[in-house]
Amino acid sequence: MTDQTARQKAGNLNRETVADYLRENPDFFVDQDELLRGLTLPHDSGRAISLVERQVHLFREQRDTLRQELVELVSIARHNDRLFEKSKRLLMQVIEARNLNDMAAAVDDSIRGDFGLDAASMILFTDQDLPGNGRGALHVVSPEVARERLGGLLDGDRAVCGQFRESERSFLFPDREEPIASVALVPLRAHEPAGAADDLVGVFAVGSCEAGYFDQSMGSLFLTYISDTFSRLLPPILQRHTAAATSLADPVAESR
């Protein structure tokens, strides 16, 4: 083959054609030792390296990337395992609570002690005064006031995370010397038929004094898991407290 013929054939080739051929024939360089030794590629160091050296370098980079991804996955798994254990301890204490105040105390102790957050708040929506309400993490407000103060935050079923407005934070975490800067909030809904007007029982919120601690990209699996349990436990407990409050307010009814 003359140099002119070789140049003509080379002119008919392009990068994509060569790349497609090599992809379709990955064993092309088998028994092509002389060709492999003649091929060189630029390296980050500035010197030329052989194709084999380049492959080894790429394989090492891929190995290091996979190793780092594995380390990150193991770290996430361990973090989730710790969260699960903390969530389980909290829910066991809540299930064993004898009344709303015991439940609120367990939530407050666990969120601030076990989870290391700055505040917890369980706000129940009812027009009925409950015995001993307003202790620890427990607060009671009317549904109308809650809707006025929290608005669209009550519309969904999933956790909402962010910095929120100052008026919303002060409503969720009242009487704090150090203000809460970021919040994760989940509406608590009784398991009524979908769309029932009275299915909203209250809200469960946790807060941090660090502005960037909770944001919209944060996962909320365990917070939703905890709030789902609260949504099932609260309606019967709330009903018992309401009945007790009614009996205290009407001694005649109690004596009947």
Residue 132, pLDDT above cutoff 70: no
Torsional class of 132: left (φ above 0), alpha (ψ -120 to 50), beta (otherwise): left
Residue 1, pLDDT above cutoff 60: no
As a whole-number percent, the residues of the chain with pLDDT over 70 amount to: 73
Task: Write down the pLDDT at residue 56.
Answer: 80
- DSSP assignment of 15-60, as one string? HHHHHHHHHH-TTTTTT-HHHHHH-EEE-TTSSEEEHHHHHHHHHH
Strand order in the sheet with 119-125: 138-141, 119-125, 200-208, 182-189, 160-162
The domain defined by 98-250 folds into Beta-Lactamase (3.30.450)
The token pair that represents 54 in the structure block: 């380049």
Q: Report the pLDDT averaged over residues 144-161.
A: 86
Task: Write down the pLDDT at residue 72.
Answer: 92
Q: Which residue ranges make up each domain of the chain?
A: 33-96, 98-250
Q: Report the pLDDT averaged over residues 180-196.
A: 76
212-238 confidence digits (pLDDT tens): 888 766 667 788 888 888 888 887 777
| Higher per-residue confidence, 253 vs 144 | 144
Residues 190, 101: contact at Cβ < 8 Å?
A: no
Residue 172 to residue 132: CA distance in whole angstroms: 18
Residue 52 to residue 57: CA distance in whole angstroms: 9
Q: Whole-number mean pLDDT of the chain?
A: 78
Residue 254, pLDDT above cutoff 80: no
- DSSP assignment of 68-111, as one string? HHHHHHHHHHHHHHHHHHHHHHHHHHHHH-SSHHHHHHHHHHII
The token pair that represents 152 in the structure block: 């669209």
Q: Report the pLDDT averaged over residues 24-34.
A: 75
73-122 confidence digits (pLDDT tens): 998 889 888 888 888 898 898 888 887 888 888 888 888 888 888 988 88
Residue 45 to residue 42: CA distance in whole angstroms: 8
